[in-house]
A = this chain, B = another copy of it.
Amino acid sequence: MRIGLDMMGGDFAPLEAVKGIQLYLAEQPSPAELYLIGDQPQVEQLLAAHSIPLTNIKLVHAEEVIGMHEHPTKALKEKQKSSIAIGFHLLASGKTDAFISAGNTGAMLVGALFSIKALEGVLRPTISTIIPKENGGTGILLDVGINADCKPEQLNQFAVMGSVYAQLILGIENPRVALINVGEEEGKGNLLAQATYPLLKQNKHINFTGNVEGRDIFLDKADVMVCEGFTGNIILKLAESLYEIAQRKKIQHEYFDRFNFEIYGGTPVLGVAKPVIIGHGISHATAFNNMIGVAQKMIDTNLLPKMKEELES
């Protein structure tokens, strides 16, 4: 198993990426082979400084970097020697089995959607977020931003993809799938929610449990929560801001600590044919460690073939 990692992506790269690799190698009994893509002299020096042996490591030099605020499509096209462009090239050509970056989110999405094929039958890939539940559990919410306008069929596919992810990666057996809505009963909601409900209800690949409202999102009502990317993105960013507000106001509580999205690593792009994980720009060592771990788990558990199977049959 070969996992590509963009060493130049994120506000604290490459140092925190190196520290993340150190954590990963120390924890994993059978670590993947890591393809570290970035400024080779700088990466080599940091690896040496952290006494990281090169046993499971392959260095891939990238002489360019896509900045956090560059225009995604333009940058990817013009900077063919950037760590993100090379990372996708390695993944698309089968030289690696997964690709991770905490760099320019837009460029990662463009790369995932255009240089990696969609899983067969997938209308639109999606990105998700972990939702920390009040009772200590974790749920998953999707889509959180790449599909601002959705059709019912897309939400139905998000439900399947989220359900498989919850099972295999989060370890939730028979995950409860719910539709985010403004009321509990069938028939409630906007036109999209009204049209999506019957599809979810008839879908034999998921354990659909009905609607959940805004007040239920942090409660243990459902494991997989589905909505279009507009509402999902608002929820995600609002939840992220709660952590920041709690930090600034020095509100110390383990529950709010779980709104520190760094502890979950990045978000995988679901529905593309190979594992791609996008990290938050502020990723530190823990986030990098977790992202490599999730990528490994996605490969180990055959997540994508399993997803394809559930979507097709």
A67 beta carbon closer than 8 Å to chain B: no
Say whether chain A's binding surface is mostly helix, strand, loop, or mixed: helix
Q: What B residues does A149 contact at CB under 8 A? A: 190-191
A282 beta carbon closer than 8 Å to chain B: no
A197 CA to B216 CA, complexed, in Å: 31
A148 beta carbon closer than 8 Å to chain B: yes
Q: Quick one: which of A183-230 are within 8 Å of B by CB?
A: 189-191, 193, 213-219, 227-230
Number of copies: 2
A217 CA to B189 CA, complexed, in Å: 23
Of the residues B182, B215, B233, contact of A240 by C-beta under 8 Å? B215
Q: A134-B248, A231-B230, A241-B219 are known contacts. Are A214 and B189 too (CB-CB below 8 A)?
A: no
Residue of B nearest to A214 (CB): B237
Q: A145-B182, A149-B190, A245-B134 are known contacts. Are A234 and B218 too (CB-CB below 8 A)?
A: no
Bitwise, A229-268 to B at CB < 8 A (1) or not (0) is 1110111111111101100110101011000000000000
Residue of B nearest to A234 (CB): B214
Are B255 and A193 in contact (CB-based, < 8 A)?
Answer: no
A100 beta carbon closer than 8 Å to chain B: no
A230 CA to B150 CA, complexed, in Å: 14
Q: Can you sample 22 A-B contacts with CB below 8 Å?
A: A134-B249, A182-B229, A182-B234, A189-B230, A190-B228, A190-B229, A213-B233, A213-B234, A214-B235, A214-B237, A214-B241, A215-B238, A216-B241, A217-B238, A217-B241, A231-B234, A234-B234, A234-B235, A235-B238, A249-B255, A251-B255, A251-B256
Partner-B contacts on A (CB < 8 A): 134, 145, 148-149, 180, 182, 189-191, 193, 213-219, 227-231, 233-242, 244-245, 248-249, 251, 253, 255-256
For the complex of A and B, the 10 pairs showing the least CB-CB separation, nearest first, are: A214-B237, A148-B190, A214-B234, A214-B238, A215-B241, A215-B237, A182-B233, A190-B230, A149-B190, A231-B231
